[in-house]
Amino acid sequence: MNDKANIIDEIKTLSLINGTSGDEKEVISYICSQLDNIDSVNYSVDKLGNIIGFKKGNKKPKNKVMLAAHMDEVGFITTFITDDGFIKFAPVGGIDVKAAIGKPVVFQNGTNGVIGLKAIHLQKQEERDNLPKFEDLYVDIGARDKSDAQNFISLGDNFYFKSEFFEYGDDFIKGKALDDRVGCAILLKILREEAENELHFAFTVQEEVGLRGAKTAAFQIKPDFAIVLETTTACDISGVSGEKQVCKLKNGVVISHMDMRTIYDKELYVLANNTAKSLDIKAQTKTMVAGGNDSGAIHLSGEGVRTLALSLPTRYLHSPACVINKSDLFDTIALAKEMSKILINY
Amino acid sequence: MINKSSFDIKQALMSISSAFGVSGYENSVHERVIFHLEKYAKEIKIDKTQNLIAYVNEQKADRKTILIDAHLDQIGFVITYIDDNGFIKLGELGRSDTRLFSAQSVTIYGKEQLKGVIASLPPHVKNDSKKTPKLDEIYIDTGLSKSELEKKVKLGDAVLIDSTPVEMLNDRFYGRAFDNRCGVVSVLYALSLLCKKQLNCNLVVQFSSQEEVGTRGAMTGTFKINPDEAIVVDVSFGKTPELSLEHTAELGSGVMIGFSSVLSKRLSKDFVKLAADENIPYTIEVMASSTGTNADPISQTNAGVEAVTLSIPLRYMHTPVEVIDISDVKNTGELIAKYIGRYA
C-alpha cells in the first residue's frame, strides 16, 4: 500500500466533511469509524463530543502522553431569515470577511447557497473602498420568501464553505478545514502505526470558539505530557517579508515557543528542535507571537501539563482555500512520532 | 404557434457557462455553442474579432434583416507579471470586484491548465484590514518557482476564478459567466422554438466578443451584418435586499424589456405589447441614456439600427456566484421566438 497517498486521501476525506464548532457530528462519526479498525484502541465520546481514548502498548509506560488534534473547523451559523427569504448569519470562529464574500456555501442538510454582494457596477466609491461587515452580508439559497426558506433552513443551522480539494504546483495542497483535519489525519496515522507504546489521545471539539473541548478532554485524561498537532498561519507570500511571514511552507514542522495562549515548556521546545536536527527533519519556529491552539487549555489543565505544539505551516488559514505542502506534512508526522516515543520514557 | 422544443435549457446553461472564454479568448467557447447552433442555422461564421455569427436562413436582399445579439465573452484576468517567487500579478478583463478575491481558487490557462489560489494578506500584516485590497496588492499563488512557471505560462495568458454551476431552490442556479451565457442560452432556446419555420425576414444571430471590455465585438460584427433591427439579449440587475425595485427586477419576474434614449421606442413598446398579449411575464427596465450593453454601439452602426434590449435578471453580477432563475431564461427565449415568429 502506498502510505504517502493514503494520508493525502484521508486529509481529502476529512477536508470535505463539514463540522464547525458544536456541529462536529460528521467528523466524530468518520474518526470513530476509523478508530474501530485499529487494534488495541479504546475510546469514548464525551458529553461535549470529544473523542477520548488510548492505544494499549506492550510495555508499561513511564509517562502518560496525550496527543491531541481538534475536529472542528471555522464555519457559519444562521441567525435570521429575512421576509424575502435571505439567510442572515454569523461566523463561527475567526473568519476574515474577505474570505466569505462571493463564496459558495452548503448547509449541513445539503442546501446550496452563495454569500452574495452588490454588483460592482452599483457600488458607490465608499462601498468599493471599504469592506462590508458580516452583519451586511446574507446567503442566497434561491428561496422565494421567508416561508419557502424555512422549509429548508432553521435558525441555528450551520453552513460551510463549498470548496474543492486539489493538489497544485510543487506538492501543495489546497482545501477547506485543513485546520485542523490535517492534525486529525496525522493522529489517526500515528495510532495506526504505533505498536509498542501506550498512547492517549483526544480528538477535540470547539477549538475555534475558545479551546473549549480540549479543556474537558485534558481534565479527563490527566496527562503528564501533551503534544498538540495543529496548523498555524504562514504568510510566506509575495508582498510580505521578514518576520511578518511568521513561518514558511516547505521549511518544515513548526515548533512553537510562544503564541497568544501559551508559553511552551522550554525544555520540550529545545528537545523537539534537537530531535528534529538529529533526525534530519526540517523544523522552524514562528517569527511573530500570533495565534493560539488547544495547548492554551491543555497546559493549564489540573496541576498543569507540559505541552508541545507541532504545527504545519499553512497559508490562508480559516478560509475556503487553506494551503499546505506535503513536505511539511511528512516532517510533522516524523517529529510527532519521535517526540511521543521520547516523552513516554522521558 | 410555437413548436415543442427538445432543447434542454439547464443542460445547455451548465455546458456553455462552464466553458472558458474571457474577452479576447472567445474561440474556446465557440465549440460548445456551435454544437447547438448548427442544428438551427444555415451558415455559421467566425469573424476577425471572434464574433460567432449564424445566418439562420437564406439571406435575401429584398427583405428586412433582424439581428439577435448576445455577447459570449466573460470577465476574467490576464497575467501581467510573474515575480521572483513565482507569484502572478493580474490585469482585469472587464470589471471585477476585488472584495471577493480572497482565498478563491483559480485556473491559469497557459500551455496547460494550472491550478492556483489567490493569495491574500492575513490580518496581522495588513495595516488597514477594513479596506478593500487593490488589484495591485493581489497575487496568485501557483506553488511553482518562477522558472518552472515560465515553462508553462506566458504574460497575456488568461486566468479565471474557479466556479462550478450549481442548482439551488426553485430552478435557480448559481455559477460564473451567466453574464451573458444565460442570454446566449435564451437565444439558442428561441432558435429551437423557431426551428423548421420558413421566415419572411433575414435572421442573423451574433454571439459577440469583447463586450466586457467595451462592447467591441458588436461594432465589427454588426457593421458586416448591416441589420434593420436588433434585439440585444443580456443580463441586468436582479433584486437583492439592499437594492430597490426601481433599479432591479425580481428573479422569476420574467424578461426585462428596455426603454432608453438610445433604444427604439417603437420596438420597446412593441415587445411590451407582445409580451402582454402572449402572457409572457415581463418587467420594464428604464435606462436614461446608454444601456451599458451592445445595443449602444449596435444602434449607431452604419446608417443606424433600431434596437431593443431584453435582459435576464441576475444577482451578484460579475462574481463567480451569479444567480439566475431558469424561468427568466425561458421567458426571454419565448418572447424572442414570438417576435420572430410573426415573420413565419
- What is the per-residue pLDDT across A40-51, written as a single tens digit (0 to 9) for each? 999 999 999 999
Residues 6+ apart with CB under 8 A from B102: A96, A98, A99, A101, A316, A319, B118, B120, B133
- The mean per-residue pLDDT over the stretch A184-191 comes to 97
pLDDT of amino acid A116:
87
pLDDT of amino acid B130:
83
Q: Is residue B13 within 8 Å of residue B165, measured between CB atoms?
A: yes
Domain with CATH 3.40.630.10 in chain A: 3-73+176-344
- The residue in chain B having the minimum alpha-carbon distance to the alpha carbon of residue A112 is B168
Average pLDDT per 10 consecutive residues for chain B, totaling 344 residues: 74 96 95 96 96 96 97 97 96 93 96 94 70 90 97 97 97 97 98 93 98 95 97 97 94 98 97 98 96 96 96 97 98 98 94
First to last CA, chain A: 33
Q: What is the CATH number of domain A75-161?
A: 2.40.30.40
How close, in Å, is residue A97 to chain B by CA atoms? 9
Question: Which CATH entry fits the domain spanning B9-74+176-341: 3.40.630.10, 3.60.10.10, 3.30.450.20, 1.10.3720.10?
Answer: 3.40.630.10
User: Model-level pTM?
Assistant: 0.93
pLDDT of amino acid A5:
60
Q: How far apart are CA A91 and CA B202, in angstroms?
A: 56
Q: How many helices (H) and strands (E) does chain A have?
A: 10, 17
Which residue among the candidates B26, B211, B285, B306 is catalytic per the annotation? B211
Tell me what the pLDDT averaged over chain A comes to.
95
Angle between helices A178-193 and A25-35 (to 10 degrees): 10
Range list of β-strands (E), B113-228: 113-119, 139-141, 158-161, 166-167, 172-175, 202-208
Q: Tell me whether residue B150 is one of the annotated catalytic residues.
A: no
Q: For A119, which of B87, B167, B237 is closest by C-beta distance?
A: B237
* Mutation for B interface: A87, A120, A245, A250, most B CBs within 10 A: A120
Question: For residue B21, what is its C-alpha cell?
Answer: 472564454
Q: Is A46 on the interface with B (CB under 8 A)?
A: no
**DSSP 8-class letter at B170:** G
Question: Which CATH entry fits the domain spanning B76-161: 1.10.1670.10, 3.30.470.20, 2.40.30.40, 2.140.10.10?
Answer: 2.40.30.40
Cα B333 to its chain centre, rounded Å, is 15
CB atoms B321 and A102 under 8 Å = yes
Q: Is the ipTM of this complex over 0.85?
A: yes
B103 interaction partners in chain A (CB closer than 8 Å): 98-99, 103, 316, 319-321
Q: For B116, which of A136, A168, A319 is closest by C-beta distance?
A: A168
Question: For residue B182, what is its C-alpha cell?
Answer: 444565460
Q: Is A287 on the interface with B (CB under 8 A)?
A: no
CB atoms A113 and B105 under 8 Å = no
Name the strand (E) or helix (H) holding B328.
Answer: helix B326-341
Q: Is residue A10 within 8 Å of residue A176, measured between CB atoms?
A: no
pLDDT of amino acid B121:
78
A160 interaction partners in chain B (CB closer than 8 Å): none
- Please determine, looking at this structure, whether the domain spanning A3-73+176-344 carries the CATH number 3.30.2230.10: no
- The mean per-residue pLDDT over the stretch A301-322 comes to 96
In three-state secondary structure terms, B101 is coil
**DSSP per-residue letters across B28-69:** HHHHHHHHHHTTT-SEEEE-TT--EEEE-S---TTS-EEEEE
Name the strand (E) or helix (H) holding B242.
Answer: none
**Would you list the domain boundaries of chain B?**
9-74+176-341, 76-161
Q: What is the pLDDT of residues A207-259, one digit of tens each?
A: 999 999 999 999 999 999 999 999 999 999 998 989 999 999 999 999 999 99
Cα B134 to its chain centre, rounded Å, is 26
Angle between helices B178-194 and B27-37 (to 10 degrees): 20
A235 interaction partners in chain B (CB closer than 8 Å): 121-122, 124-125
Nearest to residue B118, comparing CAs of A153, A141, A101? A101
CB atoms A140 and B168 under 8 Å = yes
First to last CA, chain B: 10
* Mutation for A interface: B80, B102, B147, B211, most A CBs within 10 A: B102
Strand-pairing partners, residue A257, are: none
Residues 6+ apart with CB under 8 A from A198: A54, A55, A56, A57, A59, A60, A61, A64, A344
Q: For A138, which of B148, B169, B241 is closest by C-beta distance?
A: B241
